[in-house]
Amino acid sequence: MSIAVISDTLASMIRIATPLMLMALGGLLCQRAGVFNIALEGFSLVGAFAAIAVVQFTGGNVWAGLIGAILVGALYSALFALFITKFKADNIIASIAMNMLGAGLTSYLLRAMFGVQGAYSPDKIKKLEMINIPIIKDIPILKCISGQSVVTYFAILLIVVIYIMLFKTRLGLSICAVGESEVAAKTAGIKPALVKWQVVLISGALSGLAGAYLSTISVSQFSENMIQGRGFNAFTALVFGNAHPVFSSLVTLLFGFADAIGIRLELVGMNISPSIIQMFPFLFAILALAVSSYTTKLKVKGVIGHKKKKEKAA
């Protein structure tokens, strides 16, 4: 493989990983707060639709689309937050219901608003310029970082922001506390429901942005079920990444890499069915899931990791 090919593959890895990263960063906050959020899939689908709808109605303004998707994503996730806090809904069931509702709503609105079925491209769309970073854009291989969209750079910045928020601020401490023990957090004067609302809304907003990235930056259309399991992959990534912002983001890059390699193989003309290639990230996710649950199990059993200290009775 030539250096140019490597650089190209890495660049597409970053492109593919961007929406996963956004979803994982929001999802890991939920995970830390003890909210089992596999509704990322539905949140981002709604976001993807909202972005295209806003782009259509603003005459092609992608910026407005992105912001619209963030707002609509957060609004949609509010329903999830309402049910899991106020009505004590089972997280898993509520998540699946949100995914189902997202699929139903978007395909309904596709018909109701645009009168089409399957997919819709807005009449006009002013695509965002990719941003070239001086100096880096001329370094071989490393130049894969340059020439990405603004959303990608935002996602990378977000890794740092979420890291600081989670480990250095009051809110982060409250999030971790609620995830560990709701009762205990309550006795320390924290309102678990409020914390859950916050993390769910953040994950809704970020997933909305992820969906908008897919519909307005990756392509220029909304199609039914266009998220294609990316939300579940993002969830797997955050599980594998131990709900740590940096590790989880790195895992999304690995997922992106698995995908990019597949596309590369296809381009090279290797005789592999595209369906099999599309399986790569899922196979990788299953493997990641197995590894992470196995290491957790060993950790609990004390085979690896820390030792327990026992104080001698004085």
Partner 1 sequence: MKNKENNRILSAAGIVGKQVGLIIIALILATIFLAASGYEPLAIVNGILEGLTVDVAGTIRWATPLVLAGLAICVTYKAEVFNLGVDGQLYMGAAAATAVAVNLPKDMNHLVSLLIVFLAAMAAGALFAMIPALMKVYLDTNEVVSTLLLNFIAALYVEYLVTGPLRDPEAGTNLNASAVLGENTWLPRISFFEPSSANVGFYIAIVVMIILTFVFFRTSFGHEIKIVGSNPVLAKYAGMKPKKTILQVMAMSGAIAGIIGAVEVTAVQHRLLAGFNPDFGFDGIVVSLLANNNPIGVLFSGIFFGALKNGGINMERITDVPSAVTDIVTAIIFITISAKFVIPKLRRKGTEKTPVRQGGK
Partner 2 sequence: MAVAVEMLNISKFFPGVVANDNVSLSVNEGEILGLIGENGAGKSTMMNMLYGMMEPDLGVIKLFGKEVRIQSPNMAIKLGIGMVHQHFMLMPNLSVLQNIILGKAPTKNGLIDTKAAKEKIQEIMDTYDLPVNLDEKVYQLSVGEKQRVEIIKALYREAKILIMDEPTAVLTPTETDKLLEVLRLLKSKGCAIIFITHKLREVMAITDKIVVMRKGLVTGTLSTSEANTEGLSDMMVGRKVNLNIERNEYQPGENVLEVKDIRALNQRGLPALNGISFQVARGEVVGIAGVEGNGQTELIEVVSGMLKPTSGQVIFKEKDVTAQNVRQRRESGMSHIPEDRLKMGSATNCTIRDNLILNRYYQKAYCRNGILNNKKLHDLSENLCKDFDVKTPDSDYKLGTLSGGNMQKVIFAREMEADPDLLIAAQPTRGVDIGAIESIHHKIIEVRDSGRGVLLVSAELDEILSLSDRILVMYEGEIMAEFKRGEADERTIAVYMTGAKRQGGDNDEK
Which residues bind to partner 1, rule: CB under 8 A? 36, 38, 79, 83, 87-90, 92-94, 96-101, 103-105, 107-108, 110-112, 117, 228-229, 232-233, 235-236, 239, 273, 275-276, 278-279, 282-283, 285-286, 289-290, 293-294, 296-297
Least Å distance, CB 203 to partner 1, is 16
Neighbouring residues of 310: CB distance < 8 A, sequence distance ≥ 6: none
Number of separate helices (H) and strands (E) present in the chain: 11, 2
The Cα–Cα gap between 193 and 195 comes to 5
Instruction: Specify the residue, 87 or 308, whose C-beta has the smaller distance to partner 2.
Output: 308
How many whole angstroms from its chain centre is CA 213? Answer: 11
Least Å distance, CB 35 to partner 2, is 16
Least Å distance, CB 32 to partner 1, is 16
Least Å distance, CB 111 to partner 1, is 4
Instruction: Of 156, 186, 207, give the one whose Cα is nearest residue 45.
Output: 207
DSSP string, 44-86: HHHHHHHHHHHHHHTTSBHHHHHHHHHHHHHHHHHHHHHHHHT
Look at residue 111 and give the partner it binds from partner 2, partner 1, none, a contact being a CB closer than 5 to 8 Å depending on partner kind: partner 1
Look at residue 177 and give the partner it binds from partner 1, partner 2, none, a contact being a CB closer than 5 to 8 Å depending on partner kind: partner 2
Look at residue 289 and give the partner it binds from partner 2, partner 1, none, a contact being a CB closer than 5 to 8 Å depending on partner kind: partner 1
Instruction: Specify the residue, 42 or 179, whose C-beta has the smaller distance to partner 2.
Output: 179
Instruction: Specify the residue, 257 or 284, whose C-beta has the smaller distance to partner 1.
Output: 284
Binding site for partner 2 (CB under 8 A): 164, 168-170, 173-174, 176-177, 180-181, 183-191, 300-303, 306-314
Instruction: Specify the residue, 163 or 282, whose C-beta has the smaller distance to partner 2.
Output: 163
Instruction: Specify the residue, 135 or 312, whose C-beta has the smaller distance to partner 2.
Output: 312
Neighbours of 83 (CB within 10 A): 18
Least Å distance, CB 312 to partner 1, is 32
Instruction: Of 300, 235, 6, 248, give the one whose Cα is nearest residue 99.
Output: 235
**C-alpha angle 190-194-195 in degrees, rounded to nearest 5:** 75
Instruction: Specify the residue, 117 or 169, whose C-beta has the smaller distance to partner 2.
Output: 169
What letter represents residue 308's amino acid? K
The Cα–Cα gap between 202 and 71 comes to 10
